[in-house]
């Protein structure tokens, strides 16, 4: 599901206006959605968090999990806003104590996520948060990790969704709903028309 499935909230346009796309990053031909420019605008950042909190408040979610690193930026304030605990899904060797891990393939190589054992109670309802869904590899791995740790992942939430990379479809095949604030076939559709796209030099 996207914020576009209902009449578009006027806050969405303000959020879009802060986004920059970096061309030829992280490799030639790539288009990188730079969330840092959103974070530099306190109103747009707050509006984004408020939209997520409005979507999930009162839905009995007791765990919000964020994927390192940008999932932490959005996930932690969403957790506070809905009265849930926040769980970090981290890169290897960052967490103390007993951990559970999952390895997965990405568009640009392989990666791994870990979380601490015992931070989630069996059957807790969890919301999984990241900044963007592209191929869906990271979110699918995160779902696997959370559910092996006892959570029931009820939905995934992202600021951006890029449909042409098929991540939406992968989540659908897992039976996991997806909510995004901005959704399109390509990165360029997610910002206002005519806005300059920066190039990496």
The residues carrying an active-site annotation are: 70, 107
Rounded CA gap, 8 and 155, in Å? 21
Q: How many CB atoms sit inside 10 A of residue 103's CB?
A: 10
Which DSSP letter does residue 26 get?
Answer: S
Q: How far is CA 126 from the centre of its chain?
A: 13
Q: Are 11 and 51 in contact (CB under 8 A)?
A: yes
Rounded CA gap, 162 and 175, in Å? 19
Q: Are 142 and 128 in contact (CB under 8 A)?
A: yes
């Amino acid at each position: 599901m996207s914020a576009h499935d209902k009449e578009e909230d006027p806050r969405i346009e303000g959020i879009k206006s802060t986004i920059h796309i970096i061309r030829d990053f992280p490799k030639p031909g790539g288009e990188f959605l730079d969330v840092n420019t959103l974070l530099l605008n306190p109103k747009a950042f707050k509006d984004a968090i408020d939209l997520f909190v409005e979507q999930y408040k009162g839905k009995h979610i007791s765990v919000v999990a964020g994927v390192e690193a940008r999932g932490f930026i959005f996930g932690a304030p969403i957790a506070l806003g809905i009265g849930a605990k926040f769980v970090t899904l981290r890169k290897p060797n960052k967490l103390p104590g007993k951990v559970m891990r999952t390895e997965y393939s990405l568009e640009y190589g392989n990666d791994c996520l870990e979380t601490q054992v015992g931070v989630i109670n069996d059957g807790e309802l969890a919301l999984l948060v990241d900044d963007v869904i592209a191929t869906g590899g990271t979110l699918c791995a995160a779902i696997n990790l959370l559910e092996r740790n006892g959570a029931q992942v009820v939905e995934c939430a992202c600021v951006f969704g890029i449909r042409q990379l098929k991540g939406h479809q992968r989540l659908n095949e897992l039976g996991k709903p997806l909510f995004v604030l901005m959704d399109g076939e390509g990165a360029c559709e997610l910002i206002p028309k005519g806005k300059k796209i920066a190039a990496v030099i």
